[in-house]
Amino acid sequence: MTATYRAMQIAEPGRLELVERPIPEPPAGQVLIAVEACGICGADANDIENGAPGRIPGHEVVGRIVTLGEGVPAIWRIGQRVGVGRFGGHCETCRECRRGRFHLCRNQPVLGASCDGGYAEMMIARATGLVSIPQELTSAEAAPILCAGIATFNALKKSGAEAGDTVAILGIGGLGHMALQYARRMGLRVVAVGRGADIAAEALSLGAHRYIDANTENAAEALVAMGGAQAILTMIADSAAIAALLPGLAPEGRLVLLGAGKDPLPLPLGHLVGGERGVIGSITGSPYENERVLDFSVLTGARPMIETMPLDRAMEAYRKMRSGDVKFRMVLTMKENANAHQ
């Protein structure tokens, strides 16, 4: 192993630069990972556009452990392939951790925002944030599941929908294309809602039973005609589009919000109260839950659709993601690290 590693850090807001850094020693309770793949997520935009110069973005990280810090539990070993998602490891002492709600820990680092992420050949990570990666998945396939996969998988579980129920997926992009696959494999009646006919065939091939083009059809009325949706999962932050779909929610149904936006969401109080409908937010999950969704992906054959680029083209890959000219996830690869543990 060399004494330095390459990384794409923020040079100034909105611009990345390739740098070389000395390889660090992991502190107690942490590990050094040789990164093999790192997904580019829509949430990276805020980190890159508003982050401090010198910060390394990226929070869909898969690689192999090359160094163990003091006190790291014996379940983690040199050469083991692991992943780290948006939240970089819970503290185990705050109120939420003591309740077992590790993904809500108030004292954990946020990869790419409050600590360096995975647009790099090496990365330090807390042992509490590590996720074991199944051998059936390539590193590039596994990386987006650590964010887009866990977010949509957990949202479906929280929705209360059961096999045979109708679930509407609003927004067929990086998250939505995973939600369609998981929902179909959970035995749900899946309705994809988007804008334009160009995505219809893809939505159906990914698992939707029906595609509604909101440009040409009243999506809420279409859902009502089907008996209403037991759950509506929104991948977008367009409050007007979300509000327009709310009348399609069945009695006792749930609107589950994944897209975080700044605009307030207008809610029809009578519609919610009269039908005992609910609105909840959903955010990622714990390392254990991430392992569950990885295993489910292996079991059912669900896979992210990805395009890959090498690390030194991270700026190009990021711009492509931002333009929407990708189906459906961009992943950076560090092929030289494939045997970094040896």
Alpha carbon dihedral 294, 300, 306, 312, in 10-degree steps, equals 30
Q: Residue 142: enclosing H or E segment and its boundaries?
A: helix 139-144
CA distance 167 to 158: 12
Residue position matching structure tokens 């051998």: 135
Angle of CA points 47, 49, 53, to nearest 5°: 75
What are the pLDDT tens digits along the chain (342 aa)? 689 999 999 999 999 999 999 999 999 999 999 999 999 999 999 999 999 999 999 999 999 999 999 999 999 999 999 999 999 999 999 999 999 999 999 999 999 999 999 999 999 999 999 999 999 999 999 999 999 999 999 999 999 999 999 999 999 999 999 999 999 999 999 999 999 999 999 999 999 999 999 999 999 999 999 999 999 999 998 999 999 999 999 999 999 999 887 889 999 899 999 999 999 999 889 999 999 999 999 999 999 999 999 999 999 999 999 998 888 999 999 975 544 433
Model pLDDT, residue 124: 98
CA distance 329 to 307: 6
Interval 24-56: pLDDT, tens:
999 999 999 999 999 999 999 999 999 999 999
Interval 152-188: pLDDT, tens:
999 999 999 999 999 999 999 999 999 999 999 999 9
Domains, the chain: 4-133+305-337 (3.90.180.10), 150-281 (3.40.50.720)
What distance separates the 2 farthest-apart alpha carbons in the chain? 65
pTM above 0.85, yes or no: yes
